[in-house]
Amino acid sequence: MLFNSLDFAIFLPLVFVLYWFVTNKNLKLQNLLIVVASYVFYGWWDWRFLSLIIFSTLVDFIVGLRLEKQQEKTKRKLLLLTSILVNLGFLGFFKYFNFFIDNFVAAFSFFGYELQGRSLNIILPVGISFYTFQTLSYTIDVYRRKLKPTRRFIAFAAFVSFFPQLVAGPIERATNLLPQFFRKRHFDYEKAVSGMRQILWGLFKKIVIADNCAQFADHIFAHSEAMNGSTLFLGVLFFTFQIYGDFSGYSDIAIGTARLFGFNLMRNFAFPYFSRDIAEFWRRWHISLSTWFRDYVYIPLGGSKGSKWMQIRNTFIIFIVSGFWHGANWTFIIWGALNALFFLPLLLAKKNRKHMEIVARGKTLPSLREFSGMLVTFLLTVFAWVFFRAENLPHAIQYMGGIFTNGTFATPSFSGMGKALPIAMLLVIFLIVEWRGRKGDFAISAVGTKYTRPVRWVLYAGIVFLIGMYMQTQGTPFIYFQF
């Protein structure tokens, strides 16, 4: 079920009414309703894959209880290993089986040995990378004794399957989200209004920005061999805003929807394209994933402590693993490695935590130095996105080469150029709104306190009008559903 679909527009109010007006006096019933609603929401794509969520839920619930009782170190490690193998085993089979088979056969062919590998027609379950990491956070934190295991199965099942963030995050930590299922929730009007405002902005980013940028990015990438360098650069610029509008838009809708039901999800984006260096960018982009890898992979490896070699090793591991998490394609691995290369000089110079505050705080415009840092960081990010978006490595190399060797400074030209100009103007307005709202959790978060009611409603009506005007005839799936 897509957030930007008629199905969800009917589903959400129905669940909201049942939640607050039917089950509101019984916490267990509220949690049970969330589980049922979440399974319906997920099963809308394919009911067969509900068995994976249910099995992971059962395994990690039981492992958590056994970890509490077990004091012997070796047996505790075996219990944790069971959870890791089950969860990553599912993820590895559905997402990476064919990748490893194909590359295994290719490696032997390179040395003159012909093997007959057989790929399987495997359907990737939607959101498996997200809920797998979420439930793993529970067993790891219980193993580390940072969290007491729960004996409330319904509450735990609701935590694993919570529908607003089930298929594309934010990837919640058990220490943050799970305790919220144990507490009685009361309807908060101001919180609900704020949630609706964030949903509205998320829909704008998805429907107006991402979906319209997608049609131009898709066209240019699909016909890249026939495009000049400036058009290719324009194509990756459109993709740059597509992926931001698409993914951060989903996060906004998820966080806003959760707020309607009395839950607080972690922030997932903090205006990353206003970052002054790559380290700051990764503190602001897909925060729930980058902090997950930091806490559960990077720090256990030694983090930024130890020798320079260890710091370099750990940096490349974390970025390459992050790239591979996105998909079974060498393009994602190269994308991760590129970001590691961009990040490494900052780490070695101990400047990776230089920009912790938001840019131009208390000022209308950034300084020349801040603007230069933002521009360089943005361009580095844009060029890395070429590998993320390309179909394969040869396509990425051809695309990147075309930018610099085939009319780099020529006038951009492609068949949809006329339609792209209004979208380019909307992108400028979008950036201005984002810049002005960069102090908040999302761009229009301060609208409720900054403007009078008539002005607020005019702004809301304007956003709704743009959504209706630029909505595609068919709902476009979110990019991160494939991960």
For the CA atoms of the chain, what is the radius of gyration?
A: 23
Of residues 479, 470, 420, the one with CA closest to residue 216: 420
Half-sphere exposure of 338 (CA within 13 A, CB side): 19
User: What is residue 47's DSSP assignment?
Assistant: G
Q: Which residues contact 138 (CB under 8 A, 6 or more apart)?
A: 60, 64, 147, 156, 159, 174, 178
DSSP characters over 369-412: HHHHHHHHHHHHHHHHHHHHHSSSHHHHHHHHHHHHHS-TTSPP
* 442 vs 480: CA distance, rounded Å: 20
Show the tokens assigned to 99.
């990748």
Please state, in angstroms and rounded to a whole number, the distance separating the CA atoms of residues 44 and 35. Answer: 14
User: Which ranges of 70-117 would DSSP assign to H, the alpha helix?
Assistant: 73-110
Q: CA–CA distance from 208 to each of 76, 215, 268, 425, 469 (Å)?
A: 50, 12, 20, 12, 8
Catalytic site positions: 326
Biggest distance spanned by C-alpha atoms of the chain: 74
